[in-house]
Amino acid sequence: MKTRDKIVHAALELFNEHGERNITTNHIAAHIEISPGNLYYHFRNKQEIVRDIFTLYSEELIERFTPIQGQQESLVMLKHYLDSIFTLMWKYRFFYANLPEILQRDNKLHDDYILVQEKLQINLINIMRAFVELELLTVEDEEMKSLVTTLHLIACSWLAYQSAMSPDSKITEQVVSQGMLQMINVVKPRATELGMEQLLLLEDGVKAIHA
């Protein structure tokens, strides 16, 4: 792995473990046993590292939430998207936990974030329409954007909400899974009989794995 990539991955690990605001470039350099000067050869400051992590996150986000093409079993599709939510929230948990603060201090990153989220919302609406066509959900077209926005809001703010409610608690996989269960609960009232069966299977799977 190239030094630049090592720096980014080390920063992600440390930010997740200790919080981004508590980690300096010196911490990152020491973690991978390079000099601060070597780190500054690749990145002028910590904010540039955060931007690189955001690039990795946004690429994975759009890839995971690009509507699946071709015939797929509906339960497989639901599980894929639910697993993607968990993976992203856990892998980039520092970003979800401190999103407003991170964006407020970097206008360019904030602009990039908005562009990515606009693209994501289009994909999410198309995914939701696919579930309606599969007769898993009953959602009128004019309600689609509102439902997607609610789910998106839970995903983006869940970890920050948990941190605010329990400031001394540590973000764990179980905390992330609780956010997933909250999203399932939001969708349940829109589910058809078939959709409810599959949502309950997914719910049981989340509870069993992350209990």
Same structural domain for residues 91 and 129? yes
Both 3 and 61 in one domain: the answer is no
Please, which pLDDT band fits residue 210 given cuts at 50, 70 and 90? low
What's at 88, amino acid-wise? L
Q: What 3-state DSSP class applies to 23? A: coil
Both 98 and 190 in one domain: the answer is yes
- Poorest-pLDDT segment among 41-50, 76-85, 141-150, 165-174: 165-174
Between 54-68, 113-127, 155-169, the lowest mean confidence (pLDDT) is in 155-169
96 and 132 fall within a common domain: yes
Residue 110's pLDDT is: 96
Query: What average pLDDT does this structure show over 113-125?
Result: 95
Q: Are residues 81 and 177 in the same domain?
A: yes
pLDDT above 90 covers a percentage of the chain that reads 81
**How many domains does the chain divide into?**
2
What is the predicted pLDDT for the residue at 70?
A: 67
Query: Residue 211 pLDDT more than 80?
Result: no
How many C-beta neighbours within 10 Å does residue 82 have? 19
Grade residue 169 by pLDDT with cuts at 50, 70 and 90.
Answer: confident
pLDDT attached to residue 1: 80
Q: Mark whether 89 and 134 lie in a shared domain.
A: yes
Among candidate residues 116, 159, 134, the one with its CA nearest the CA of residue 78: 134
Same domain, 52 and 14: no
Q: Is 79 helix (H, G, I), strand (E, B) or coil?
A: helix
- The stretch 16-21 carries a mean pLDDT of 94
CATH number at 10 reads 1.10.10.60
Cβ atoms of 161 and 182 closer than 8 Å: no
Query: For 17, left (φ over 0), alpha (ψ -120 to 50), or beta?
Result: alpha
Q: Which domain holds residue 25?
A: 1-44
Stated as kind and residue range, the H or E segment containing 31 is helix 25-31
Taking phi first (over 0 means left), then psi (-120 to 50 degrees means alpha), and beta for anything else, what does residue 71 get? beta
Q: Is the dihedral of CA 29, 32, 38, 44 positive or negative?
A: negative
CATH of residue 128:
1.10.357.10
Asked whether the predicted pLDDT for residue 168 surpasses 80, the reply is no
Q: Which amino acid is at 197?
A: E
Q: Looking at the structure, do residues 62 and 91 belong to the same domain, yes or no?
A: yes
pLDDT in tens, 26-84: 999 999 999 999 999 999 999 999 999 999 999 999 999 999 876 678 888 889 999 99
Are 138 and 80 spatial neighbours (Cβ–Cβ below 8 Å)?
A: no
